[in-house]
With several copies, the nearest count.
Chain A
Amino acid sequence: MQDCISPEKAAAMIPDGASIMFGGFLGVGSPDRVIDALVARGARGLTIIGNDTAMPTRGVGKLIEAGCVAHVKASHIGTNPTTQKKMITGELEVELVPQGTLAERIRAGGCGLGGILTPTGVGTVVAEGKQVIEIDGASFLLERPLRADFALLRAHEADHFGNLTYRLTAANFNPVMAFAANCVIAEPDEIVPVGVIPPDAVRTPGVLVHHLVRRVQ
């Protein structure tokens, strides 16, 4: 871990056009303060990668509402009518990925695998343009790794080294995204001294985190 920055500083570090992974599941466990700062700075042309686009007033939904986003890779956009509308008008490009495949593609990107073979999506539109590999008589799609310029995580606790914990269903995509971006920024609910989080409770080692977002003012 390098330093502790404000949400505004984090938003300023992220250029227009960047690709960003966002933790969160319908807004639960999403880095809300950095999202607000991205909206405030008027970010444009972002590619956002995450489970869903939440709701127009929640989580990454705010980015879509504010016109910050050009591309979406997600498993579900049904809870955000604005995503739907902008997709139809062509303002937004949306790639839908099955949820488990999205998680594994991000994992592959973060742990140095060239791809994974999954049964999910075989015989569906998801298989279009993809290589199908037969293993012992079963068919699998070859799915490619996913990485991004930035990963914006919401954590529960962080210590001064950047070690992170998560809380209940707010973990969701956050832990895997910590592996898969060139710059990882974590927004914890609380920052505690080194030693407060025992080694076995650490769910994201601090070596993966580049910046912490400073405590709530």
Chain B
Amino acid sequence: MRNAKEIIARRVALELRDHSLVNLGIGLPTLVASYVPVGISVAFQSENGIIGFGAPPPEGMESPHLTDAGGGFISALPGAASFDSVTSFALIRGGHLDMTVLGGLQVDASGRLANWVIPGKIVPGMGGAMDLVAGAKRVVVAMQHTDRGKPKIIEKLNLPPTSARRVSLVVTEMAVIEPTDEGLRLLERAPGVSVDEIVASTGAKLLIDGEPPVMPIVSAENAA
């Protein structure tokens, strides 16, 4: 069985649309870039100022002027465009970003996301997360279903929200859940995971229409 993060990344990759602009958050979301389906052309944005970046360059060929939003060295693909922070967030806030994939600490029954701070712990700062959730056309949360056994999908956030806006989709290693006006709808279950197991690991009411289908994921053979 594949590990949780890989399942999540492979499922999220199926949300990628042809000719779209996508921003991947640091950490788990970054893995999604490894599973872009064949035939799908996606432009990835890094909010520090580039569209069209690729894998780290060979050792010794890194440019000190070219990194991703996590500070790691990257390469630029042919056709890349670089720009300043004002332009980068004009793209994000102006609705030009088709999708953002972000990690999550909690999602609640109203579809609100908390992912930037745990009171009493270290305060990293929101970085670009609040703008991404406010501005992207689709916000996909890629996170593990529970944290040390405790549900991360709960009735009401007890961590500070990242935005008042409802996210578009939540993908975990157990399920795909869509926040709607009526509540959290269970769309898919992971291979080998039962609805009962999902319900038991979820701290909010799920809307379930019969037996949800098994989550498709990008297979190794289909990834570009």
Residues of A at under 8 Å CB distance from B? Answer: 1-2, 25-29, 51-52, 74-79, 84, 87, 94, 96, 98-104, 107, 110-113, 118-126, 139, 156, 159-161, 163, 166-176, 179-180, 194-195, 199-200, 202-203, 205-208
5 residue pairs, one from A and one from B, having the closest CB atoms: A123-B164, A78-B124, A100-B89, A112-B93, A111-B90
* Contact (Cβ within 8 A) A79 B71: yes
Report chain B residues within 8 Å CB of A205: 51, 81, 83, 91
Report chain B residues within 8 Å CB of A101: 130-131
CA of A126 to CA of B126, assembled, Å: 10
Give the segment of B6-14, B59-67, B175-183, B193-201 that binds chain A. Answer: B59-67
* Contact (Cβ within 8 A) A76 B126: yes
CB distance from A76 to the nearest CB of B (A): 4
* Contact (Cβ within 8 A) A99 B47: yes
Given contacts A76-B124, A172-B84, A199-B76, is CB(A100)–CB(B67) below 8 Å? Answer: no
Given contacts A2-B19, A78-B124, A159-B79, is CB(A208)–CB(B66) below 8 Å? Answer: no
Instruction: Map CB proximity to A onto B134-157 as digits: 1 under 8 Å, 0 otherwise.
Output: 110000000000000000000000
* Contact (Cβ within 8 A) B46 A169: yes
Report B153-198 residues with CB < 8 Å from chain A CB.
160-165
Q: Can you list 29 A-B contacts (CB < 8 A)?
A: A25-B69, A25-B71, A26-B48, A26-B70, A27-B71, A51-B85, A75-B125, A79-B71, A84-B123, A87-B123, A96-B123, A96-B126, A99-B131, A100-B135, A103-B86, A111-B91, A112-B93, A119-B134, A123-B161, A124-B164, A125-B160, A139-B164, A159-B79, A168-B66, A168-B76, A169-B46, A199-B52, A207-B43, A207-B51
14 further interface pairs, Cβ-Cβ under 8 Å (given A76-B126, A100-B88, A168-B66): A26-B67, A75-B126, A100-B93, A103-B85, A103-B89, A111-B89, A118-B93, A124-B161, A167-B65, A172-B84, A175-B86, A179-B91, A207-B21, A207-B91
**Which of A28, A77, A107 makes the CB contact (< 8 A) with B86?**
A107
Residues of B at under 8 Å CB distance from A? Answer: 19, 21, 43, 46-52, 63-71, 76, 78-86, 88-96, 122-131, 134-135, 160-165
Nearest residue, chain B, Cβ from A174: B84
Nearest residue, chain B, Cβ from A85: B122
CA of A156 to CA of B63, assembled, Å: 13
* Contact (Cβ within 8 A) B66 A169: yes
Given contacts A26-B71, A100-B89, A119-B135, is CB(A124)–CB(B49) below 8 Å? Answer: no
CA of A28 to CA of B135, assembled, Å: 25
CA of A49 to CA of B82, assembled, Å: 23
CB distance from B66 to the nearest CB of A (A): 4
Report chain B residues within 8 Å CB of A78: 122-125, 127
**Which of A74, A104, A180, A194 makes the CB contact (< 8 A) with B78?**
A194
* Contact (Cβ within 8 A) A173 B84: yes
Report chain B residues within 8 Å CB of A74: 125
Given contacts A99-B47, A168-B63, is CB(A206)–CB(B163) below 8 Å? Answer: no
Report chain A residues within 8 Å CB of B92: 100, 112
Nearest residue, chain B, Cβ from A203: B84
* Contact (Cβ within 8 A) A172 B81: no
CA of A128 to CA of B183, assembled, Å: 28
* Contact (Cβ within 8 A) B94 A199: no
Report chain B residues within 8 Å CB of A107: 86, 90
Given contacts A28-B71, A172-B49, A176-B84, is CB(A194)–CB(B79) below 8 Å? Answer: yes
**Which of B43, B70, B94, B165 makes the CB contact (< 8 A) with A112?**
B94
CA of A148 to CA of B131, assembled, Å: 23
Report chain A residues within 8 Å CB of B79: 159-161, 163, 194-195, 206
CA of A84 to CA of B125, assembled, Å: 10
Nearest residue, chain B, Cβ from A98: B130
CB distance from B211 to the nearest CB of A (A): 36
* Contact (Cβ within 8 A) B94 A100: no
CA of A100 to CA of B87, assembled, Å: 9
Nearest residue, chain A, Cβ from B20: A207
* Contact (Cβ within 8 A) B82 A122: no
